[in-house]
Chains A and B, each alone.
Chain A
């Protein structure tokens, strides 16, 4: 369970811990999203949003690592092939 989408926090509109919310952009469409579950999230962060709530801040370094995974495997294979 499931449908959660990354969006960029453009603005924080309410700072009370329980009703904390902000404007989040999804490819240009802006929706008010609750930030109550991500007290550390700030403007400019990308958050993963489900049912109107941000659940976590997305980690750019980890994102890059994920994309690099297959490339690392291919590099290792290339080395294997070369050394044989």
Chain B
């Protein structure tokens, strides 16, 4: 397949591994923020192909992982209504809230549907005018414009039976939150390529400058990730700190201006709670005033609530890059994909789940590098 196979070329990948070995002299921690990148790293075994001094940390770029329990509980409440058809991306169906998940609600008789696109839920709404159709709007800036366009279409068609439970979050505030933490061990970031396809990367240039940290906008195939890692290492070894774009074929500095204008119109920036982080100010999108009729929380009068999270779970520290899944005593023991304790074991992109699926459970060495040394 064009634009995919070339970036999975084994010869090219091996060249990168050799060059990374040649370049990397110090001990460095590089964080990839996006769950899709975590998935690819573990699937191709990229982290095990890197020299000992280079450690990859898995950041909070998994919207499934960071959706707060309270929001999932709201989703469960909506999905349990008799006249609601609740539509969601497949990723969210197994994420447990306080007591159960959407799959259980479906088993109990709730009308829960998996959709590939938010537009599918709009189609369901148009074809079923007697049902209240709610779309679970999770995601980062990659998904935000798709949700925005869906809401715009809903307004255009004058739909009165469609609403969105928004849980959209933004990446740069999360990176800033990680860099602001005194515990941070991250020396460089691989910025999420598809988020930047939409937003561009000027905001990341600001972060590079403010924190003196190299950031490389990176794609998702083996060659992309290896190139992103190499570019980060070259900067680190040369004490540089700027934002570079590895994913030039899909990302321009200003991103997709049509999408950004749409998001400015349909959304407003709000504070959001992140599972494992607490509330990060101005880190999410909610529907703006003109579109509030499509806000499911308002339509159904959902109350705010506080949910408890497991005490054993260290996903907060994993999401911040302070610990690895293998550092957790519950990993693979009391916490498994079938019985997840927290966010990072829940979805395929969660660091713990990825490790569990692709790694030996017997290997539990902590290999966290010291970071920042040459």
Q: Which residues of A lie under 8 Å from residue B195 when comparing CB positions?
A: 1
Contacts of A48-84 to chain B: CB distance below 8 A: 48, 50-53, 55-56, 58-60, 62-63, 65-67, 69-70, 73-74
Q: Check B1 against A59 for contact (C-beta < 8 Å).
A: no
Residue on B nearest A39 in the bound complex, by CB:
B258
- Which A residues from 22 to 67 make CB contacts under 8 A with B? 26-27, 34, 36-39, 46, 48, 50-53, 55-56, 58-60, 62-63, 65-67
Q: In the complex the two chains form, is B149's CB within 8 Å of A67's CB?
A: no
Task: Count how many chain B residues have C-beta atoms less than 8 Å from C-beta atoms of the other chain.
Answer: 57
Q: How far is the CB of B372 from chain A (nearest CB, A)?
A: 25
Which residue of chain B has the shortest Cβ distance to A8 in the bound complex?
B2
Known: A1-B139, A27-B1, A37-B149. A51 touches B249 (CB 8 A): no
CB pair A36–B149 under 8 Å, yes or no, is yes
B259 interface neighbour in A4, A8, A37, A74, Cβ under 8 Å? A37
| CB of A19 within 8 Å of the partner chain | yes
Binding stretch for chain A, among B33-41, B203-211, B322-330: B33-41
Contact B256–A55 (Cβ < 8 Å): yes
How far in angstroms is the closest Cβ of chain B from A54? 10
In the complex, the number of residue pairs spanning A and B with C-beta atoms less than 8 Å apart equals 136
Interface size class of A (residues with CB under 8 A): 35 or more
B224 (CB) vs chain A CBs: closest residue? A66
CB distance from A39 to the nearest CB of B (A): 6
Which of B1, B194, B248, B262 is A62 in contact with, Cβ under 8 Å? B248
CA distance A27 to B113 in the complex (A): 27
Given A1-B36, A53-B117: A70 and B12 interface contact (C-beta under 8 Å): yes
A60 to B7, CA, bound (A): 13
Docked Cα-Cα span, A45 to B62, in Å, equals: 30
Q: How distant is B43 from chain A, measured CB to nearest CB, in Å?
A: 13
A1 to B61, Cβ gap below 8 A? yes
User: Which residues on B sit within 8 Å (CB–CB) of A36?
Assistant: 149
Are A53 and B146 in contact, CB atoms less than 8 angstroms apart?
yes
- Asked whether A51 lies within 8 Å of B197 as measured between CB atoms, the reply is no
Q: Report the separation of the CA atoms of residues A57 and B143 in the bound assembly, to the nearest whole angstrom.
A: 17
Q: CB distance A37 to B139 under 8 Å?
A: no
User: Is there contact, CB below 8 Å, between A4 and B1?
Assistant: no
Contacts of A8 in B (CB 8 A): 2
Q: Which residue, B2, B139, B152, B220, has most C-beta atoms of chain A within 10 A?
A: B2
Partner of B118, one of A4, A27, A52: A52
> For window 211-231 of chain B, which residues contact chain A by CB distance below 8 Å?
220, 223-224, 227, 230
Selected from A46, A50, A60, the residue in CB contact (under 8 A) with B143 is A50
Say whether B3 faces chain A, with CB atoms less than 8 Å apart: yes
B16 within 8 A of A: yes
How long is the Cα–Cα vector from A38 to B117 in the complex, in angstroms?
17
User: Does B156 reach chain A (CB closer than 8 Å)?
Assistant: yes
CB pair B227 A70 closer than 8 Å: yes
Q: Is B63 an interface residue (CB 8 A)?
A: yes
Please name all residues of chain A whose beta carbon is closer than 8 Å to the beta carbon of B259 when the two chains form the complex. Answer: 37, 55
Contact yes or no, B116 A52, CB < 8 A: yes
| Cβ contacts under 8 Å, A66 to chain B | 7, 223-224, 227, 246-249
Name 12 extra pairs, CB < 8 A, besides A4-B250, A48-B194.
Answer: A1-B62, A1-B142, A2-B35, A51-B146, A52-B119, A55-B198, A62-B249, A63-B6, A63-B249, A66-B249, A70-B15, A74-B15
Residues of A within 8 A of B (CB): 1-6, 8, 18-19, 26-27, 34, 36-39, 46, 48, 50-53, 55-56, 58-60, 62-63, 65-67, 69-70, 73-74
Provide 26 A-B residue pairs closer than 8 Å at the C-beta atoms, listed in order of the A residue. A1-B194, A2-B39, A2-B194, A4-B197, A5-B4, A18-B153, A34-B149, A48-B250, A50-B146, A51-B116, A51-B117, A51-B118, A52-B117, A52-B119, A53-B119, A55-B145, A55-B194, A56-B197, A56-B251, A58-B3, A63-B249, A66-B249, A67-B7, A67-B223, A70-B15, A70-B19
